[in-house]
Amino acid sequence: MAPTTVLITGANRGLGQGLLQRYLALPNHTVIAGNRDPNHATSQALNDLPKADGSKLIVVKIDATVEKDAHDAVKELQEAHGITHLDIVIANAGISYALPTVADLKISDLQTHMEPNVYGVVALYQATRPLLRKSSKEPMFVPMGSTAGCIEHRSKRNQPPIPNAVYGPSKAAVNWLTVRMNAEEDWLNAWVLIPGWVQTDLGNAGARGLGLEKAHIGVDESCDGMMGVLAAASKEKYGGKMVAYNGNFPAW
């Protein structure tokens, strides 16, 4: 039986590392970390994570701001590591460093967020699509989403009033693209995964912007929930939808 092969970008810290750690703990899994710098100490430390029987870790370079990186990584996986298929690709890498209003945002900041958060997701999808097509299972392409990109949640009544005029639009674009991926490919289960408001660097920065000490959800709680959602996924159930870590379906 072929191992389940999972690729996660931005897997050297936070949610990406949490998911990678949990997949490595499952038997017969090949888990690929697509990190911006495989030689960084945080990437090297992944080699020390416990691995279940038949499971292994591969670390490759994928910088979400470099279009060719994902294609180069797929070539390396095939030629140097003998990877013949991918079952799950989780597009986790992304940035958020500014919280402007629309009136105050800098176009350069919007462009900088779009590059990894949107263009990087598209490049990853295009690069990994041929190997996903070769999966003997129902392959999944799963971008990490955020309710910051939800149109129906943008009122102050429904969402904390965080001025999010660069990160939010980038996540809204990913929502649209993922729905289209799922519609265009009968064989692919593409859907958006919402981790919740998590105590990562990004989540806590947003919390401090609201005068809070930290975000609401711990990394372990979020990752445990997301693993359950990923394990239960099917195209019929999740395809083209946005699914939260707790199994809820947030409105677009």
pLDDT in tens, 174-216: 999 999 999 999 999 999 999 998 988 777 777 776 778 888 8
pLDDT digits (tens, 9 = 90+) for 73-124: 999 999 999 999 999 999 999 999 888 999 999 999 999 999 999 999 999 9
Q: Which two tokens stand for residue 35?
A: 């990190």
- Asked if the structure places residue 37 within a domain, the reply is yes
- Asked if the structure places residue 80 within a domain, the reply is yes
Q: How many CB atoms lie within 10 A of CB 138?
A: 15
Regarding beta strands 242-244 and 4-9, do their DSSP bridges make them parallel or antiparallel, or are they unpaired?
unpaired
Residue type, 125: Y
Task: Give me the CATH number covering residue 106.
Answer: 3.40.50.720
- Asked if the structure places residue 250 within a domain, the reply is no
Distance between CA atoms of 138 and 186, rounded to whole angstroms?
Answer: 10
Predicted confidence (pLDDT) at residue 228 exceeds the cutoff of 90: yes
Is residue 73 within 8 Å of residue 79, measured between CB atoms? no
- Asked if the structure places residue 191 within a domain, the reply is yes
Residue, of 158 and 172, whose pLDDT is higher: 172
Enter the pTM of the model.
0.95
Question: Of 25-34, 69-78, 140-149, 176-185, which gets the smallest average pLDDT?
Answer: 140-149
- Asked if the structure places residue 233 within a domain, the reply is yes
Distance between CA atoms of 76 and 191, rounded to whole angstroms?
Answer: 26
pLDDT of residue 153: 58
- Asked if the structure places residue 193 within a domain, the reply is yes
Domain that holds residue 224: 4-244
- Asked if the structure places residue 89 within a domain, the reply is yes
- Asked if the structure places residue 180 within a domain, the reply is yes
Predicted confidence (pLDDT) at residue 168 exceeds the cutoff of 80: yes
Residue entry with tokens 């003998």: 82
Tell me how many domains the chain contains: 1
Known catalytic residues are 167, 171
Three-state helix/strand/coil letters over the chain: CCCEEEEEECCCCHHHHHHHHHHHCCCCEEEEEEECCCCCHHHHHHHHCCCCCCCEEEEEECCCCCHHHHHHHHHHHHHHHCCCCCCEEEECCCCCCCCCCCCCCCHHHHHHHHHHHHHHHHHHHHHHHHHHHCCCCCCEEEEECCHHHCCCCCCCCCCCCCCCCCHHHHHHHHHHHHHHHHHHCCCCEECEEECCCECCHHHHHHHHHCCCCCCCECHHHHHHHHHHHHHCCCHHHHCCCEEECCCCCCCC
